[in-house]
Amino acid sequence: MLAICSDIDSAYPWQFKRVHRFLNTLTPAVPHYGDGVGLDIGDSFFFKNMSNKGISVYDACYRYQNENAWEYEFNNEAASVMDPSNARDPITGRLRFEAGPKFIEKYIRAGWIDVLHGGDGKSGQQHAFIRDATDWRRVDGQHYMEWLAERGLKIDTFTNHSAVTSDFGVPTQASTVERPRSMGDLPSSPAYWADYARHSGIKFCWSYIPTESAAWRRTFGQDNMLVPVSFRDGGKFWHFSRYNSKKPYADTVNSILNRRNLDFLLNGHKFEVAYTHFGYLSPRGKRGGWRANLSRMIDLPGRIHRRISPAAKKRWLSCANSTKPHTMLSASSIRSFRLLKTYQDQGSILVAKTSRLMRYNLALDHLVFTEGQADGRTIIDITAIKDPQFGDFTPTLNDLKGVTFYVSDSSKAEIRIHDTLVHENEIQRNPADETGQQSIGIKWFQPDFTDYTIS
C-alpha cells in the first residue's frame, strides 16, 4: 500500500485543481497531462498562510473581492487589499480575513484534501511573537478546532512545516526569540495548541519526533508505519515517517515512483508514505526559466516568447489562467504516475490517501475480534480497535476498510461488528491466494473518479 503525501507549500489553487484533475479522475485528454490516471491521492492545506499567497483558510491578511479572486494567482493584486494591522479581532484575537474556506471545505469533502499542514506557508517561521498577524497563537489552534466543528469536517492527519512556531517536537535547531521553533506542544508557549490538535481529531502526525532520522527515511518500504509518541505536554499521538528521495519536487516524481521502488514494495508486502511537493519545482526545473514554462503554458510558438515583455507575459498568463495548462508535473513525473497506475490496475499495489493508509495500519495492528462457528458458518465478530494512544473504540466501517481474514471457506463466513452483521454489499469474498487459503474481508473504498473541478 502506497500513499503520496504532498505538502502544499507554494501551490496555488489553480495548480491544485489541475494536478488533481490528472491524478484523481479519468478525464480524457487533460491539457498537458493527457488522460487522468484515477488514483486515490490526497493533498494538504494550511489553516493560516501569513507569509505568501497559497492554499489556506486565512491567507496573508488579504481581503479578497470574492472567492474567484483568491483562487486565481494572477488576479490577486487587483482584487485584494492587505491589511495586517487589522488581521485579528482585537477582542477575540481571531484572524478575520478568510481567503479560501469554501475551496478547502469543498476538496476536503471531495477527498482531495486529507492532511493539515502545520504552521505558516513560509519555509521557516522568521517572526517573533510580537508580529500578531503572522505568528501562530494558542487562539489559532482553538479557532482551527472550532472551524472544523462548525463545518462538520474531519482531519486526522498532520504534517509539520520546517520547524515553524506551532509545530510539535524538539526542532533540529534551537528555538530563539528571533526564530521560535516547534513550540506547539510546549504548554508554556503562546503557540501551544497540541491539546486542541488532539481534540480536533488529529491522531497521526509526521514531525521531527522522535528524531529527524525517524521522520525522514532514505529506504523505501516499511512493515509498519505507526510509532507511538508522547508530546511534551504528555499528549499521545501516532507518529509516521516518510520516504524522502532527496528530490521531493513536482518535476522529479520519478525519484520516488520507479520500478525498483515499486517492485520492492510489492515483493516485500510493505507500506510506504512518500514525501513530495506538487507546488515546487526542483532547482534544475526552476532554471528552465519562465520562457520555457510559458511556452508550454500558453501554447505559443517559441519565437513569440523571445519578444514578449514581462508586462505582456503577465497579461497572457492572466488571460490564459483558467483554460491553459501549467507545467508543475514534468513529463517524467507524468510517466511515473502512469507506471504507478499499471501496478494498481494489476492488483499489485493499492494507492491510498495518507489518512486511509494510517487508519488501515491502525486496524491491522490493534484489531480485537472473536471467531466462532454456528450452523456450519464461520462468524468473525469485531469488537474493538484497542488503540494504546487514544483509547479503545468500536470501529466504523470506514475504520475497517480492507481488513481481511483467512477462513477455510469464504462462501460460508460472515463478519460482524459488535454482533451486528456487516451487509453483504460491504463484504469481499476471495478465492485462495498464494498461501492456498481463502479469505473474507470488508471492501476497500469504492473508487471515485469524479472531476470535482467542474462538479
Nearest to residue 74, comparing CAs of 319, 294, 392?
319
Q: Cα separation of 242 and 33, whole Å?
A: 26
294, amino acid identity: L
- pLDDT tens digits for range 70-79: 887 555 556 6
Q: Cα separation of 194 and 70, whole Å?
A: 30
- pLDDT tens digits for range 436-450: 999 999 999 999 999
- pLDDT tens digits for range 324-335: 445 589 999 999
pLDDT reading at 344 higher than 60: yes
Q: Could you tell me which residues are beta bridge partners of residue 351?
A: 2
pLDDT reading at 152 higher than 80: yes
- The pLDDT of residue 97 is 86
The number of residues in the chain equals 455
- pLDDT tens digits for range 348-392: 999 999 999 999 999 999 999 999 999 999 999 999 999 999 999
pLDDT reading at 108 higher than 80: yes
396, amino acid identity: T
Kindly give the interhelix angle for 289-298 and 310-320, rounded to the nearest 10 degrees. Answer: 30
- pLDDT tens digits for range 213-239: 677 888 999 999 999 999 999 999 999
Higher pLDDT, 49 or 347: 347
Cell numbers that stand for 78 in this block: 487587483
pLDDT reading at 32 higher than 70: yes
Q: Residue 321: pLDDT band by 50, 70, 90 thresholds?
A: very low
> 233 burial class (0-12, 13-18, 19+ CB within 10 angstroms)?
middle
Q: In degrees rounded to 5, what are phi and psi of residue 73?
A: -55, -50
